[in-house]
Amino acid sequence: MADDLPLHWILHELDEEAVRHEAELAKLPEQRRAHDARVATEKRRVDASAAAQADRQKRRTAFERDIAAFEDQEARYAKQLDAVTNQQQFEAKQHEIAGVQAKRSELETQVLTLMDEEEALATAHPALAAALAKAEQESAAAHEKLAASESSLRGKLASLDARRAETVAKLDAPSRTRYERLRAGRAGRAVGAIENGACGACFHGLSPSALSDARRREKFVACEGCGRLLMLPPEGTASA
């Protein structure tokens, strides 16, 4: 049993390192999503600007059609003016002409406003497009970096797996089973280090008798909090 302790300490260190790498790996999707979200935001801005531009153009085209219709009407009324026979008819026609002119003038003002808006949108568009291009470029670079991190982490984990298998093979069958079972059920950490008189994994305090058992370095102590095997770091590496 005492011979198993150094092997378990090696497993403890391998597992702690693996858990750290797994935690890094687990952060990658969120980091990827953050870059994708930034690109999506910039893309929405560009799309919104293009949609606003199209909307202004569509409304302006409709107003311009209406303006042309009013112009035709004005021309018709002007012709009819030649045919009037008295002052009353003349004034009535003049009144109709003024009405059409007022409507046309109002639409012309709106067309000018729309043209101003279209111009402002067109002026702002290149900056939005550039921001999108920059976000896409930076996101691509970040994704590349994250992919490199992922492959490095997976490489480290594979090497830790290999070293773990090598170490586990040196354990007797019952110890191996116990270790594997604990590791599977305790988030990858079967063996906890005793730190400051407590389990280094769940921080449950050890009783004085458990602590004195651990100090003899002859057998494992089971953590009452998490059930992991607990041991003191080998002498010279740390203290309880």
Three-state secondary structure call for residue 227 = coil
Q: How far is the CB of 44 from Zn ion (least distance, A)?
A: 48
Q: What are phi and psi of 222, to 5 degrees?
A: -90, 135
Q: How far is the CB of 34 from Zn ion (least distance, A)?
A: 34
Question: Which stretches of the chain are DSSP H helices?
Answer: 4-83, 87-168, 173-185, 208-216
Q: How far is the CB of 201 from Zn ion (least distance, A)?
A: 5
Q: Of all residues in this chain, which one has the CB nearest to Zn ion in the complex?
A: 199
Calpha distance 161→3 (Å, rounded): 22
Q: Which of residues 114, 226, 231, 232 is near Zn ion by CB under 5 A? A: 226
Q: Which of residues 152-211 bind Zn ion (CB under 5 A)?
A: 199, 201-202, 204
- DSSP label at 205? B
> If you search the block for the tokens 């801005």, which residue do you land on?
45
- DSSP label at 26? H
Q: Closer to Zn ion at the Cβ: 202 or 211? A: 202
| Alpha-carbon dihedral 99, 103, 104, 110, rounded to 10 degrees | 160
Q: How far is the CB of 196 from Zn ion (least distance, A)?
A: 13
Q: How far is the CB of 183 from Zn ion (least distance, A)?
A: 14
Calpha distance 125→55 (Å, rounded): 15
User: For Zn ion, which stretch binds (CB under 5 A), given 5-13, 32-40, 134-142, 215-223?
Assistant: 215-223
223 binds Zn ion (CB under 5 A): yes
Q: Closer to Zn ion at the Cβ: 153 or 223? A: 223
Q: Closer to Zn ion at the Cβ: 69 or 202? A: 202
Q: Closer to Zn ion at the Cβ: 188 or 225? A: 225
Q: Are 8 and 231 in contact (CB under 8 A)?
A: yes
Q: How many residues bind Zn ion (CB under 5 A)?
A: 7
Token reading at 36: 């994708």
Q: How far is the CB of 227 from Zn ion (least distance, A)?
A: 7
Continuous segment of H or E residues that includes residue 195: strand 191-195
7 binds Zn ion (CB under 5 A): no
Q: Other CB atoms closer than 10 Å to residue 240's CB: what's the count?
A: 15
Q: How far is the CB of 49 from Zn ion (least distance, A)?
A: 57
Q: What are phi and psi of 173, to 5 degrees?
A: -55, -50
Q: Which of residues 163, 225, 233, 240 is near Zn ion by CB under 5 A? A: 225
Q: Closer to Zn ion at the Cβ: 114 or 193? A: 193
Calpha distance 162→136 (Å, rounded): 38
> If you search the block for the tokens 């090497």, which residue do you land on?
159
User: For Zn ion, which stretch binds (CB under 5 A), given 10-18, 38-46, 146-154, 222-230?
Assistant: 222-230
Binding site for Zn ion (CB under 5 A): 199, 201-202, 204, 223, 225-226
